[in-house]
Amino acid sequence: MTHPEFEDFASDIQRYTLSREQTRKQRIQWITQEGPKITKIIKTRKIEHFVHFTQVSNIDSIIQNGLLPKNELEENGIAYSQSDEKRLDRRDGEEPICLSVSFPNCQMLYAKQNQNITVKWCVFLVDPIIVGKCYCQYFSFNAASARFLSDFNEGIKHDKSDDFMKIFSKEVYTDKAIYPRDFPTDSKEFDKYATSFQAEIQCFDKIELDYIKKCVFLDKETCEEYKDRLEGVGIDVTVDDKWFFSYGPYQK
């Protein structure tokens, strides 16, 4: 590499490093400003957990490394089984961790289970306190929807608490339809659920094991296989084939 070429290369690295540092500072500022507002909403709506489902083959990696965005897994050479091979919802060049509010995206989980019946899945329950620890973006519907892809790539500028509240709107507008909030109005029991089961939280930071509360399995045999390892790092386990692996509150 000639001297001028080296200078150009070094300048590119400096610009990239500076850009990442600026982004990191902006995200810390957001967490400080918006985290408490969202925490207040979480407490008001009695949201006990966020939800992340994955293949059980990823459990040992999660025990060792915590939950990591895909780009960090690849940057660090960490092997993983991919849940979604066609990620259309990249943000700012990153592939964040996908979470749901109180209940998984049941339609997607059901489809994944039936796509390959030899693959086993589990559901992690994550402490919602992470909104005050991690940089997240909030979507009232599928984050890969056209209406979000252009709008949210500059997500740092958004009012995150407002975005979070939209997850519980009386009506959710998608690219093709309008989904009403179809829960009983005479009970606050359903306040903790998103209007659409496709609502998403995207987390751009590592989720430490301290914030992973429980791992839910579909069958006892698989639960027993991982029980000691998970409990050894403070993650409770349970078997539940009636709720998290069904359509739950979205059952019609």
**Chain segment 80-97, per-residue pLDDT in tens:** 888 765 545 455 568 999
**Chain segment 205-221, per-residue pLDDT in tens:** 999 999 999 999 999 99
Prediction pTM value: 0.86
Phi, psi (deg, nearest 5) at residue 81: -95, 125
Domain ranges for the chain:
3-250
Rounded CA-CA distance 217/242 in Å is 11
Phi, psi (deg, nearest 5) at residue 59: -60, -45
Rounded CA-CA distance 13/120 in Å is 42
Rounded CA-CA distance 14/18 in Å is 6
Specify the DSSP class assigned to residue 157. G
Rounded CA-CA distance 54/125 in Å is 11
What is the model's pLDDT at position 92?
Answer: 59
Rounded CA-CA distance 121/59 in Å is 10
Of 85, 78, 76, 87, which is closest to residue 58 (Cα–Cα)?
78
First to last CA, the chain: 64
Give the side-chain half-sphere CA count within 13 A for 61: 20
**Chain segment 178-189, per-residue pLDDT in tens:** 889 999 878 899
